[in-house]
Chain A
Amino acid sequence: MTSALLAAKGVTLQYKTPRHLVTATYRVDFSVHQGDRYVILGPSGCGKSTLLKAVGGFMPPAEGSIRIREREITSPGPDRMMVFQEFEQLMPWKTAYQNVIFPMKVTRKFASNEAAERAEAAIAKVGLTEFRDIYPHMLSGGMKMRVAIARAMALEPDILLMDEPFAALDALTRRTMQQELLSLWDQLRFTVLFVTHSIEEAIIIGSRILLLSPHPGRVRAELDAGGLDHTSIGTPEFGTLSQRIHALLFDNGQGARA
């Protein structure tokens, strides 16, 4: 594995509000390799979600480039499936199963009987077989999130983009979902780009962590966090890394405004 799966070079992102031109990130570089659990971590206002949208192809960079498999990203595509923070990403007019199979049907990536099998398998993997014919409004927040993850993974994208997917869940469900994500990764070894504002979540989920400082988002550090998960909470290594991240993000006189 010589070249990176996803490479961002000097990415500056700007968007317009009715009154201002906001620079969300400034000349950010990073690269994600096959099989990475790559976490972008930073306080609010560091442009991490905007960065993920740019990778998703929803927003062209003002400067720099983002490439996936050596190809410039210009528009959204099913090779980069996104899981959003909000629950309304599922289509309310489709059952859990129909939601999962929908991208496979639309993209025609798989033959229809194979798509059906894959959808069943994905739903089983996230433990929702009993709920496959239920409409999203009858599902809890955590279940909706699992359907969204199943939908994204069933399509087998090159990279899974997750925008604070567990932020709107209660703490207990979030913990379970983090564990489930990790055990799914153990089975399938997909590549995921994960955005969060929680240091703890970043260490648990991530194998590699990119720290962004706010206003505008710039790279502060890139750290290794492989081998640390829920079981290591409370160990000295976890504490040290957490302290180090905290220091990098907040103790340079910049974080206070976030």
Chain B
Amino acid sequence: MNPQQTPPQRPELEVKLADTAVIGDVERPLTLYERVAGNDAAQRLTILVALIVVWEIYARWLNNSLLFPTFSETVRTFGKDIANGVLIDRTFTSLRTLAIGYAFGLAFAAVFTTMAVASGTGTRILSTLTAMFNPLPAIALLPLALIWFGLGTPSLVFVIIHSVLWAVALNTLSGFRSVPETLRMSGRNVGLTGARYVGLILIPAAFPSILAGLKIGWAFAWRTLVAAELVFGVSARSGGIGWYIFEARNDLDTATVFSGLLTVILIGLVVESVIFRAIETRTVNLWGMQR
């Protein structure tokens, strides 16, 4: 054992606080480079540009526009079809079908979740149905939908509802379940019950999960729609974006196929990083419920 276990006696100390002006940079604006480097949008844009450059170089080197058209050729076709209205028309048809399907899907999800919140039996019904149907690819239901509803929008709407409903219902329910008990109690404390309790407490409190469900549901729906339209090829006189791609493939017009795919991607990007992003920054990020 060390005999010097007790620490040495030291003088006490009292210091006058230093003047902060000496420190200099307590707060200063960021430089342009620092802001760009920390900017999500700028970085994403850089990645996109890099991808486009790689695409252009590879396609030029390959030099086979039937297999792999260049970016510039794709953009030219894209511009041409936008200008003559074909692509806009096709996109509009797709988006309209999507909106109908998405809206119905959300409405059904709301019904199921309300049922599940209201009673234990409802919860069991929803979790059983979700377990059964969620893994079932919507496209696998398309043959059945064609028998039931025939060729056309109703069949498409049916498969879109299927792809939206379970994802949204599942996420909303798990969101409701994870609302902290204290928050529930402080809602009931002021006398909230029934629909007002759900609307004013549960839905905002579960909003991060609900939003995640909406995003997944949107991605499923969009994917399903384009795929279903490809299968549909046959009759559609006012077909959607999937039909546009299918038609171009039949004509071996690969640049147009690419421009169709580009449209699908662009719409996906806009919805994801403009619409949903805007909702996120105004809600869950602002509230500190999600980083």
Contact = CB atoms under 8 A, between A and B. Distances in A.
B190 A102 contact: yes
A77 interface: yes
Interface stretch (A1-9, A14-22, A78-86, A114-122): A78-86
A190 interface: no
Interface string B196-239: 10001100110100000000000000000000000000000000
Given A76-B191, A91-B205, A106-B200, A135 B287 contact: yes
B204 A78 contact: no
B186 interface: yes
Interface string A86-110: 1011111100000000110011000
A82 B185 contact: yes
> Interface size for chain A: under 10, 10 to 19, 20 to 34, or 35 or more residues?
20 to 34
Given A88-B180, A93-B283, A107 B186 contact: no
B182 A58 contact: no
B189 interface: yes
B186 A137 contact: no
A76 B289 CA distance: 27
B105 to A, nearest CB: 25
A17 to B, nearest CB: 15
B125 interface: no
Given A93-B207, A93-B283, A106-B200, A88 B183 contact: yes
Given A76-B191, A91-B205, A84 B186 contact: yes
Nearest to B289: A92
B288 interface: yes
Contact of B190 (A84, A103, A135): A103
Interface in B20-55: none
B288 A58 contact: no
Contacts of B180: 86, 88
B261 interface: no
A136 interface: yes
A163 to B, nearest CB: 10
B164 to A, nearest CB: 25
B178 to A, nearest CB: 12
Interface of B: 180, 182-183, 185-186, 188-192, 196, 200-201, 204-205, 207, 283, 286-289
